[in-house]
Each structure stands twice: as C-alpha cells, then as structure tokens.
A and B are shown apart, each in its own frame.
Chain A
Amino acid sequence: MSQSVNDVVVSGRVRLARNYFDLPFWGMSNEENAQLCISRATESQLTNPTEDTYTLYTLRDMTKVDRQALMEQHLISRDLLKHSEVGAALISKDQMISIMINEEDHLRIQSIVSGFDLGLAASEAFKAEEKLEGICTFSFDPQLGYLTSCPTNTGTGLRASLMMHLPMLTRFKQMGNVNQSVAKLGLTTRGIYGEGSEALGDLYQISNQVTLGRTEDEIIEAVTAVGKQLIDAEHALRSRCLSDQSAELKDTIFRSYGLLRYAVQMDEKEFMQHWSNLRLGVSCGLLDTSLELVDQLLTTAQAAHVKQYVKENTPDLAVNQARCQIIQKYL
C-alpha cells in the first residue's frame, strides 16, 4: 500500500482576522459601518481591472440554501451565516481565496489548499491582505499585534488548520488522547465545520489556539508538525488493521461502498459514515476511484448542495433520494 499525506489530509486552510482601524468591531457596529466594510473590501479588489478575479456574494441577496452551500464548500463560516443580514464574501474565481466581510471581525481572509501545504495557503492569504492594505489601514498595536474582536485571535490573527480524515484513530478510540496531546501544544481539534461542530465522517480540523507571541511561520510549523504526527499514527493503524483485521476492514468498506452504489435514500449522517469508509477504501487501494472525486462528493452530497440539485433537476424528488442519485453519478 503506497501511502501519501493526501490519504489523510483533505485540505489545508489559513485565515487572517483583520479589522479597519477606524470602525468599531462587529458587536458595536451598525448597518452603515457594515456597508462601509463591504465597499472598502470590494474597492480594494477592483482597483486593478486586469486582476478582477473576485466575485462578491452578498448574503441577504441569496437564498438560505445558496448561502449554506457556500458554507458546505468551506468558503464561508457558520458564523457568517449568523450575520447574513450584513455578511458578504469576496470569493476568487479559483475558490482558493475567500474574504469574509462582517463576520466576527470586519475581514476574515482565508486561503484553502487541497493538500498539506499551509505555507502556500499562508502566502496566498498574505497576497490578498496586501491588496486590501493598499487602500486601508488595519487595527494594529505594536505590543499586541492585530487587534481583533475576540482576544483569542489577537496578535497574528492567524488560524492555520488541517482538515484530516482519521477513521482509524477514531475506530481505535484514540481521539481523546489526540485531543489532550494537541491541546498541550497550543493546538485544538474541531469538527468538520469548525468550532462547536460534530466530527462527522471521521473528519477533524486541527488548528492553532495561540495567536499572540508566535510568528506566523512558527504557528504554521507547529500545525504542520502535529499534522505529520497524526498522519503517521493514522497510517500505522491502517497498515496494522489491513494485516491483522483484513476481513473486518474490507467488509466494512465494501458494505459501505455497496450501500452508496445501490441505496435509494440516505440521510446526511448515514452518508457521512459511509463516505468515511469509502475514502478509507480508496486510500488503502481497495477501491478504484480517485481521492479527488471522493472529496468532491463530500461537498456535493451535503444538504444544501442536494437541495440545489433537486431544484435544478428533479423538483419532485425527496432530498434523501436525490442524494443517492448524486452519489451514484460519482461511483
């Protein structure tokens, strides 16, 4: 079995929290200031027409389903959905950069990469930040760094995270130990949609907790180092399981594969469980599908994406049945 980091790491993400120096933070802001936050961000991205690669999404002009679909793609956060009256996002055409506006901070600049390269994600986020800095000044203090609405982000305002698929660490009940060890290093584990969300599909986000007193490089190195250790631990368990419990593992994977291929209706929670086994099967070389396709399926079979599919293609079909149609197009 050839092992690579992509067997375990689904995506990497770096986000920067920034606030305009002359406007109150979100909690003490008003509609006028919120609109100013949007127009400033938009202006900065449109100053050079040849580089106009961003699209502005104003949440209140979108349907609830379309907003949620952006969240399922991790292009906006759950918190931005809560601020949908004034929330907006500038999203690059390649969907690598998303600048959330009027979330907890005026701006949340995030960069997503499909693999493990958090350094690349950071440099892309900084490029987007520099464009914004060209026309505005951020709230900054020489001692405390970038000033943010919540003191947990003060300093660099940088959160680096890895979305990791850890089915074996979960199966062997190692996640409790992982959480404890990770916390000792100033990092934290969260569910699929960040803070407070469930670890559906054995997906976990590993990210830094500490943002003040460390450089951006140190933070990225710390998350990367822990990520590498988790990859090794997950790979070791997969190898052991494939040799010691081969029949049980294959049975679990192929049963899930069978259900995904032939089931007529499936809810999201059940899908996530089978999706996890599908990804594990592909990673272990037991199933002949690409990881890229499997990861795409993770997004397209989520609730809002399925509802969009129903609206466009099969208005009379129930969501759980439509989910199976989508899955079966992929497999």
Chain B
Amino acid sequence: MLCEECNKNQATVSITVTSGEDMNTRHLCPECMKKMELSLAHGDIQSFLSSILAVLSASKTEKHQPTCTGCGLTYSAFEQNGRLGCAQCYMDFSEQLKPLLQRIHGRTQHAGRVPASFANNPQKQIQKQCDELRQKMDEAVASENFEDAAKYRDELRALSEHEEANLP
C-alpha cells in the first residue's frame, strides 16, 4: 500500500486516531512519519496534531468525494456547476447520477437512436457491457463486497454464454 500522505513511498506505519465513536486509520511511509515525529520531538505538539488532523480530514473528504477517474472532476464540483467533465463521469458517478436522471427524465433507459458504429456491431455492445461488469466485479472484490461480486460474476457469465451462442 502506498503512503496516504505523499502517495509515493510504501506505507509501513499505521496511525489510528480515536475521536468519540469515530476511529480513523492512516497508513504512512517512514519519511512522512518522521516529519510528524520531528515536530513532536521539537515539542511542537500543535504542529504534530495539525498534521494528523490535516491527514484525517483529507481522508474524510476523499471518502465522501467521488472523483472521476477520466477527468478528475469531483462530484461536488458537478453539483456546483451542473456540468459533467467527460463520458467517464457517467460511469464513476453512476450511483449519484442514476437517481438524478430518474428525477429529470422519469426514466433511465435510453430508447432513441443508436450510432451506426453500435447498431452495426452488436458484439461491440456486448463487449462494452462485459468490460463494465468486469470492472464492477473487480471493485466489489477490492472492497470485500463478495455478495455483489458474485452477482456481477453471474451476469458476466450469462452475457459471455449469450455471446458465444450467437457467434456465427
């Protein structure tokens, strides 16, 4: 795991801060840990605490701040100006956008024209669906959400079988 402070070195130290019922753990590299220890060694407890708090608040913001992997737009930036940054935003913010689209349009399944490149190439469509399912499955496994992962695996299997059955 990479250090959550510098995002460069391997994290070897874990710090857990407990505040009331909240417990936050941060993983740091020796270099970043040393910086914090130095402030403590110099009796600068204020500086040490603010480093810890800055790290923790950054972690909290990240947790509640979905960010597009395509263009880097945060969901809160989208909420402010109402404009998405790229096509990938639709995938990365799908959880938030689905209810929004439902509210705006009353439906969430496209019923209109399909570009010629898609219409003439059903395999491309299935391939795209497979890619998306595979990505969702990997994410579910990474977050130890095995129930969802199994659901995606079954969907993926069904789709692949369907594709094979329809091959010329």
Contacts and interface: CB of A to CB of B under 8 A. Distances in A.
B2 interface: no
A124 interface: no
Interface string A139-152: 11111111101111
A28 B85 contact: yes
B71 A213 contact: no
Interface in B11-58: none
Interface stretch (B59-67, B99-107, B136-144, B153-161): B99-107
B105 A150 contact: no
Contacts of B105: 154-155, 210-213
The residue among B85, B107, B109, B112 with the most chain A CB atoms within 10 A of its own CB is B112
Contacts of B108: 143-144, 212-213
A212 B110 contact: yes
B168 interface: no
A27 B72 CA distance: 12
A142 B118 contact: yes
B115 A27 contact: no
Interface in B125-143: 125, 128-129
A139 B83 contact: no
Contact of B85 (A25, A144, A214): A25
Contacts of B167: none
Contacts of A126: 113
A7 interface: no
Given A152-B104, A158-B112, A216-B112, A142 B129 contact: yes
Contacts of A143: 108-110
A151 B104 contact: yes
Interface in A130-168: 130, 133, 137-147, 149-152, 154-156, 158
A141 B110 contact: yes
Interface of A: 19, 21, 23-28, 104, 126, 130, 133, 137-147, 149-152, 154-156, 158, 186, 209-216, 218
Interface of B: 70-73, 81-87, 90, 97, 100-101, 104-118, 125, 128-129
- Complex A-B, nearest 6 residue pairs according to Cβ-Cβ distance, in ascending order: A213-B107, A145-B110, A28-B85, A156-B112, A212-B105, A24-B86
